Amino acid sequence: MILIKKSQPLHAISQVLYYEKKVNFESNLLFMENILIVGAAGQIGSELTLELRKIYGEEHVYATDIKQAGRDIVEGGPFQILDVMDDKRLIHFVIRHKITQIYHLAAVLSGNAEKIPIQAWHINMESMMNILDLAKEVEDIKRVFWPSSIAVFGPTTPQVDTPRLTIMEPNTVYGISKLAGERWVEYYNRRYKLDIRSIRYPGLISYKTEPGGGTTDYAVEMFYEAVKNGRYECFLNQHTALPMLFMTDAIKATIDLMETESSKLSVKSSYNLGGLSFTPNQLADEIKKHIPAFEITYKPDFRQAIADSWPQSIDDTLSQEDWGYSYVYNLEKMTEIMVTQVQGKFSVPHPKSK
């Protein structure tokens, strides 16, 4: 605070007050977060962007992707086409906008990665290394979020209540890249004293974006096909149990982790995140409560082997203890919201509204 003598003339006092206000304003700017979201048009990014803009202000959350995002993203704050693989444009963007946090969400997901394994490995790993090196070189970057996945586990992993530390032998390109990524996260955190945080997401369910090529995306596909066509052919068998989470819970968990004081976090690689656990048959039965005529058939493809190698349920005790993780939406509540919202997208009246 600047002290003012009573004997100073009025114009001098006003000059001092102006200077103090200017200093305070610039000081506040130094502590203001500017957040970069890479992959803002994707399933997680499209919803995370909106929530972060509510918290930090629209002008402080920069959404980027290699494709055009939805209108709410583009018109609700700064958006730019940006390829995370272009490290020169990336660092220019970060420095120009004084970025302090990065959420790196871009990746080739499990099902699609198996179709283009070498290309998927290249995209997933090189994009990640660009972000990690950026965090190491640019002092303004204080925190990074990078998503891992239950794909890091493999067929030799205990499948029920899978612990955070266990046997991890993934047999998919996506899982191998995520496991390698976790090791790089811990290495950069310890070697360079960075603050990179990560969650092993289960299958995520959202009505705002359509499926993006993941093995757990059968659940989202089922809702869309039930509403549009009244039937669905599932690429997993009816008894395949997998851990899932409604997107609202996943977004809250992500932000909660990123806003937790670093001293409270005991994990330097990636935290487990559990939630729901259900089979395609159980989900279909729940959907039929809202769409009684819905029919489902099963025709497992190559993604069945991927699903069989993943856990059926997750132990997230450490996430609860370190940063207070919890989830709200059970299968019944999630299904009601999903059916209603997807019907709204296609102007189909909800049966209960008739």
* Structure confidence by residue, pLDDT tens digits, 26-85: 344 435 899 999 999 999 999 999 999 999 999 999 999 999 999 999 999 999 999 999
Across 164-178, b (16+ Cβ under 10 Å) vs e yields beeeeebebbbbbbb
Q: What is the pLDDT of residue 24?
A: 44
Query: In this model, does residue 7 exceed pLDDT 60?
Result: no
Q: What is the pLDDT of residue 137?
A: 96
Mean pLDDT of the chain: 90
Between CA 134 and CA 103 the distance in angstroms is 13
Give the number of C-alpha atoms closer than 13 A to the C-alpha of residue 66, restricted to the C-beta side: 11
**For the whole model, what pTM was predicted?**
0.87
174, 218, 232, 271: which is the annotated catalytic residue?
Answer: 174
Q: Mean pLDDT over residues 162-171, rounded?
A: 96
Top-tier CATH class for 107-353 = alpha beta
* Structure confidence by residue, pLDDT tens digits, 116-164: 999 999 999 999 999 999 999 999 999 999 999 999 999 999 999 999 9
Q: What is the pLDDT of residue 1?
A: 40
Position 109 confidence tier, pLDDT thresholds 50, 70, 90: confident
* Structure confidence by residue, pLDDT tens digits, 290-348: 999 999 999 999 999 999 999 999 999 999 999 999 999 999 999 999 999 999 998 77
Is-contact 177 230, C-beta < 8 A? no
Query: In this model, does residue 227 exceed pLDDT 50?
Result: yes
Q: Which tokens is 145 given?
A: 């979020």
Q: What is the pLDDT of residue 209?
A: 80
Q: Can 201 be counted among the known catalytic residues?
A: no
Q: What is the pLDDT of residue 9?
A: 46
Is-contact 161 315, C-beta < 8 A? yes
Strand ranges for the chain from DSSP E? 35-38, 61-65, 79-81, 101-104, 143-145, 148-149, 196-197, 199-201, 203-205, 231-234, 242-246, 271-272, 276-278, 295-298
Query: In this model, does residue 180 exceed pLDDT 50?
Result: yes
Q: Which amino acid is at 66?
A: I
Number of neighbours of residue 297 by Cβ within 10 angstroms? 9
